[in-house]
Amino acid sequence: MPPSNAYHVCVVGLGSMGMGAARSCLAAGLHTYGVDLNPAATSALREAGAAGAGTSALPFAETLDAVLLLVVNAAQCKAVLFGEDGLAARLRPGAGVMVSATISAEDAREIAAGLEAHGLLPLDAPVSGGAAKAAAGQMTVMASGSPAAFDRLRPVLDAVAGKVYEIGAEIGLGATVKIIHQLLAGVHIAAGAEAMALAARAGIPLGTMYEVVTNAAGNSWMFENRMKHVVDGDYTAKSAVDIFVKDLGLVTKTGLAMNFPLPLATTAYTMFANASNAGFGKEDDAAVIKTFAGIRLPGVKEEK
């Protein structure tokens, strides 16, 4: 157990990334709390040694040096911070708040302004790397904010990240870099699904196709990670189709705001939206392949 004067951090959102980040904070010796609506997640974190975990941070808010938000979207960030019993009003002035959801630059600026009004130090700090890197404390963080915010949140950054990119002082830069990253991630998944669907249509065993691509020049991290789910017929959601409907929606809105064409991102968004509309929104994002007709996929029953 860390000493009573240890750095106190709360991770809000104990999904696959948040749980990994919270465990990494524990491993780094930080006095760690967790918040999630899922009682199984909070129980697991308490068993791992958390100082506390539950559905609200209010019982320990005044002890916190930092909050790490790993929720799904801007609406959830705003609800946690500024909604009924909002956390922002309960934190000590000078506490750091690391906003790591994938959100628009506009929302990042709005949230930061609300935090600063309470005397808090916001860091616009989206993350990437998946559940495995989160669990290993090796996430990539793309962050913008004041030097004071970086300093205040340095123990958290050191605990959860393998790479921290300090993009600048202007809030919104971190969010924009993450949105551009998600353009690539979403397009790579969509392209991988299209390639594997074509292989299925041609009668090529998907395991063979996967082995060829992952040992050749056409490979990408997203292909290697997500198309393995297709080969295994396992669509248990680690990152769901609906996440990329949201993220690629942010990508297309960013392009529209700049009057900048994004033809590949727009096509990928349509593919994920079609998958969600077909009922696959809560499945792993590799389930975008299920929208292709006339193919047989491992583990997927044919409709009669």
Instruction: Give catalytic residue positions.
Output: 178
- Helix, coil or strand: residue 71: coil
- Under 8 Å between Cβ of 183 and 160: no
Backbone angles phi, psi at 163, to 5 degrees: -130, 130
Could you tell me which of 291, 295, 195 has the C-alpha nearest to residue 241? 291
Mutual angle of helices 241-257 and 263-275, in 10-degree steps: 150
How deeply is 115 buried, as exposed, middle or buried, from its count of CB atoms within 10 A (0-12, 13-18, 19+)? Answer: buried
**Dihedral of the alpha carbons of 23, 28, 33, 39, in degrees to the nearest 10:** 10
Helix, strand, coil shares, percent, the chain, to 5: 55, 15, 30
Measured distance CA(11)–CA(67) in Å, rounded: 6
Q: What is the DSSP letter of 277?
A: I
- Under 8 Å between Cβ of 108 and 174: yes
Backbone angles phi, psi at 153, to 5 degrees: -100, 5
Measured distance CA(249)–CA(204) in Å, rounded: 33
